[in-house]
Amino acid sequence: MKTNTFITLSTATANIGVLVGLVFLIFELRQNSAIALSQMTQERALSYVDQHVSYSADEDFAELYARVFFRCDFDSITPKEWDQITRNEEAERSKRRDVWFQASNGMIDPLIAKNTLNMAAIRFPLWDWLKLAPPKDSVYGKAILEHSKSDQFNPVYWGRPFHSKFKEWSKDKKSPHEIL
């Protein structure tokens, strides 16, 4: 066997080995991606469950949450209770922005992102009033406002008209976080 033939065969064999290695690497990356997506989805679900379990364990906050989001009894909320709602909504805003960001980068199911953007658009008037809204010229703020003007926006919150009732109520109300 000539040296040239040996070099050609060994190069071809090495190239085939590299191709086989790349194929296995692609399969492994896909599998790892599916596992990571599954873990993120499970962690989000558990976070949501933990949040609502904590509401049910805290009778006072559960009642406050119901007055705001279900009964839309905004006039009954004290300044101290608005502070509690503010802390809750800061967490909600961050959680929803994170879901939107990950979906925008293809890391979460688009249907989850659509739902989370809808919930952010429902809450946007509250966030704006509480001085928590993302800047309207930020990418996330624009996405929320565009969604709120689209045909896909559903302003009903768990079967209740929170969005419209809060917008109407807050028109002539000063935020508890107004800068003097």
Question: Tens digits of per-residue pLDDT, 78-95?
Answer: 999 999 999 999 988 988
CB atoms < 10 A from the CB of 133, how many? 21
Contact 176, 83 (CB under 8 A): yes
Q: Give CA torsion, residues 120, 123, 129, 135, to 10 deg.
A: 10
**Sign of the torsion formed by the C-alpha atoms of 54, 173, 151 and 37:** negative
Confidence of residue 39 (pLDDT cuts 50, 70, 90): confident
Determine phi and psi for 2, rounding to 5 degrees.
Answer: -80, 155
CB–CB of 78/171 below 8 Å? no
**Model pLDDT for residues 134-156, shown as the tens digit of each residue:** 988 899 999 999 999 999 999 98
* Confidence check: pLDDT of 3 > 80: no
Residues 88-129: pLDDT tens digits? 999 889 888 888 888 888 777 788 888 889 999 999 999 999
Whole-prediction pTM: 0.72
